[in-house]
Amino acid sequence: MRLSRHTPHDLAAAVEFIHTATLLHDDVVDESALRRGLATANSVWGNKPSVLVGDSCQPRLQVMVEDGSLKVLDILTRRRP
């Protein structure tokens, strides 16, 4: 019996999109010019485009919610020590 209708790769990709969105938004909020020694998106293209790209990544969260697997959501929301 399959617990999830999405493949692990689908869910991993959704997590990466969400991670990217949070990095883009974080750099705007913190007014960061560099991340790991490289220019941030907001320092290259400005805050508005960075926020819009970050916002466009957010709907990937819907993939995890639509999945319907409580086990998947539990793993993704569990606090790590």
53, 59, 64, 65 alpha-carbon torsion, rounded to 10°: 150
Closest CA to 65 of 14, 20, 19: 14
Helix axis angle, 60-67 to 8-29, nearest 10°? 140
What is the number of H-type helices and E-type strands within the chain? 5, 2
> Who wins on pLDDT, 70 or 4?
70
Given a cut of 90, is residue 79 above it in pLDDT?
no
- The tens digit of pLDDT for each residue in 9-45 reads 777 887 888 889 999 999 999 999 999 999 999 999 9
Pairing of strands 38-39, 34-35: antiparallel
